[in-house]
Amino acid sequence: MKTAYLVDGYNVIYSSPFLKKLLEKDTSLAQEELIRQVLGYCCQEEVEGWIVFDAYRRPLENVVEKLTDLIRVVFTGAGQTADCYIESFVSRNKSRYDYIYVVTFDYPEMMTVVDKHILLYSPRSFLKEIASGRETRRREDFSSRTCSGPRLFDYLEKEVIDQLRRLAKR
């Protein structure tokens, strides 16, 4: 069954006290931590993940970074919000997936994408699901080895990390 998660990045960050504190210190730190969490979840569940960050005030086109075969990070551009990108993605791609989970707390956005194969997920529920999977992985890792489990930097090349940091600062 082919499944994708469309994550409104800042909605999820603002729903997490931890990520929100990181955001107050440095936007790229919060983004990197969210990416790391979603990456771990999608790898464990073997589902695709699209993390969409609003960057609509910059005068550029959308930037889509493919981090792995499962994960892509999108920075919207030129007047497009994360909500608009997600709505457009669902419209263009709903036939490619058995299910698409939309993770957002923007209720007007949720109503525009509702379909029997488009499932809505609140950011808090999604974060709980990630934490639950992380705890399972932690237990499995602890019983099989002494390291703390996969990290975002284990999957990304240095150039990709540097590029993400530059994009986030625009």
Instruction: Name the residue range of residue 73's domain.
Output: 3-169
Structure tokens at 70: 């499962």
Computed over every residue of the chain, the mean pLDDT equals: 83
Helix (H) or strand (E) holding 71: strand 71-75
Which residues are CB-neighbours of 89 under 8 A, at least 6 positions away? Answer: 6, 50
Q: Are 35 and 125 in contact (CB under 8 A)?
A: no
The model carries a pTM of: 0.76
pLDDT value of position 165? 76
Domain count along the chain: 1
CA dist 123 and 134 (Å) reads 16
In tens, the pLDDT along 45-60 reads 999 999 999 886 677 7
Q: Which segment, 64-68, 157-161, 166-170, is predicted with the most confidence on average?
A: 64-68
pLDDT tens figures, 54-96: 886 677 788 899 999 999 999 998 888 888 899 899 989 989 9
pLDDT > 50? residue 26: yes
**Could you report how far apart the first and last alpha carbons of the chain are, in Å?**
37
Q: What is the CATH number of the domain that holds 10?
A: 3.40.50
